[in-house]
Structure 1
Amino acid sequence: MLFFTLSVFSQIDNKKTSITIPAVESKKDSADLSPLVPSKPIENNKSINPLNAPKISTNLNLPKKEFSMFPQENFGNPGELFVKQINKNIEDVKLSPEEVERRNGSTTNQFLGDFKSGAKFVNVVYRDHGFTDGDVIQVLVNDDIIQPRVYLTGGFKGFKLDLQKGFNKIDFLALNQGSSGPNTAEFRVVDDTGNLVSHNQWNLATGVKATIIIVKE
């Protein structure tokens, strides 16, 4: 019995069995495993709505020179010109009429007096008593032009006048006001013996006359 039992157990232990599991083919994976290829850049598509693509203008219209109602001077600022003009007007308001006339020049003809003389002739001389700025005058005697255009300098210049019996009217007509205005001058009338007959000054606007009369006795 013992021998039979051992023989049975020995056969069972030596018998080897195996279970074969058949391989089942899996279904093909639905995922696309194709290699990745870099995408191409998007080319300019002419069908794109032009409203979506802003246009860049290469012709830039730069602003033109700013318009100014004032002349362009060297100091340039129009406001400065305006302030200077206002200040000048205010100063004129503060001045008396006589002071304004001396500053801007008389706009009415000036009578500078009449003088008696028994001399045969007189010397009439004149000069710019202010800054020499280009003042020019015309000289008339009894309404006849004897000096058509005289440029006034800092030194005296003039002419000899033979006196006629009676009135000898001498007019000094301002042809301009120079560069600084008004037309300014000093004149002297000296007789043939060296005596001073008349001495005065004028401040004239353009086109205005200063007049003296010498009466020969």
Structure 2
Amino acid sequence: MKQVLLVIMMCFAINGYSQTEFSSKFKAIPPLDTSIKTKKAIPAPVAPPDIVAPNILKKPEVKFQSTNFKIGDPDPISMIQTNDFINPGDEVRDKMNKNIEKSLVNNGLKENTSYLNLKDLDFGIIRTKSKSLTIRVRDYGAIDGDLIKATVIHNYKGTVLANNLYLESSFKDIKIELQEGLNYLELEALNRGSLGGNTGAFYIYDKEGNLLLSDLWNNFDTGVKSNFTFIKE
């Protein structure tokens, strides 16, 4: 009996030792992961191609990227005419011509055409009891072939007093016989002189030789008139 109990106690002792030994040192090994993991490939960025405009005007090449072009942006290629083919000497020539023209004007050898008078000039109303008037005219600038036409108008009827009258440095006389009421006188520039606009000076005298009016017209274009109104009282 004692032997049987001893055997049973030894079995419990061995069993308890075995459980303690395995529970403290044994560790489970996880199964090996055999699945293959791959990274997704990211393509490298590619720069957009450059578009080069043809060098047709001998200018630096114009480059632009197609991705930067937007509707409404200015076109880098212009079809507007440029000055690339103009002779550089033309600018120097034009400048010299302007300087020469300015010098001639300043020295009285040429009339200034930069401010031609394109409108008729009215010299107002003159009242007189004289039966006739004398208008003395001349060119007050350089003598360059200025021509005028003198016309008197009464009751809507015009009478030419002088045609193609050549203006010189000396005075030329135009006589007017006044009618009762309104008398209109027109001095019309028939041309522009060879040196510029039509220029002239005038003096108006009554029959007794009294000076009624004196003045001048300056740089008239062809067809422009000096207008006068005479009232015989």
TM-score normalised over the length of structure 1: 0.55
Question: Which whole-Å CA distance do the structure 1 matches of 2:207 and 2:136 have between them?
Answer: 13
The answer to whether structure 1 residue 113 and structure 2 residue 124 are counterparts is yes
The answer to whether structure 1 residue 124 and structure 2 residue 139 are counterparts is no
Question: Which whole-Å CA distance do the structure 1 matches of 2:214 and 2:206 have between them?
Answer: 12
Give the structure 2 partner of residue 139 of structure 1. 150
Asked if structure 2 preserves the Cα contact closer than 8 Å seen for 1:104 and 1:181, the reply is no
The one of 151, 157, 161 equivalent to 2:172 is 157
The one of 199, 221, 229 equivalent to 1:205 is 221
Question: Which whole-Å CA distance do the structure 1 matches of 2:128 and 2:113 have between them?
Answer: 30
Question: Which whole-Å CA distance do the structure 2 matches of 1:209 and 1:114 have between them?
Answer: 16
- 1:55-82 deviation line (CA, Å, top 9, x unaligned): xxxxxxxxxxxxxx99xxxxxx743442
Asked if structure 2 preserves the Cα contact closer than 8 Å seen for 1:103 and 1:182, the reply is no
Q: CA RMSD in A?
A: 3.0
* Runs of 4+ with deviation above 4 angstroms: 84-88
Give the structure 2 partner of residue 45 of structure 1. none
Question: Which whole-Å CA distance do the structure 1 matches of 2:181 and 2:172 have between them?
Answer: 26
Give the structure 2 partner of residue 194 of structure 1. 209
Q: Which runs of 5+ in 1 are unaligned?
A: 1-68, 71-76, 89-100
- 1:18-68 deviation line (CA, Å, top 9, x unaligned): xxxxxxxxxxxxxxxxxxxxxxxxxxxxxxxxxxxxxxxxxxxxxxxxxxx
Change (3 A) 1:189 1:118: same
Matches within 5 A, 1:1-217: 78-83=90-95, 104-142=115-153, 143-203=158-218, 204-217=220-233
Change (3 A) 1:81 1:187: farther
Q: CA deviation at 1:103?
A: 5.6
Change (3 A) 1:146 1:86: same
Question: Which whole-Å CA distance do the structure 2 matches of 1:200 and 1:180 have between them?
Answer: 21
Q: Which has the larger radius of gyration?
A: 1
TM-score normalised over the length of structure 2: 0.51
Q: Which runs of 5+ in 2 are unaligned?
A: 1-85, 101-111
Q: Secondary structure at the match of 1:133?
A: coil
Change (3 A) 1:207 1:84: farther
Identity of aligned residues (%): 31
Question: Which whole-Å CA distance do the structure 2 matches of 1:190 and 1:115 have between them?
Answer: 11
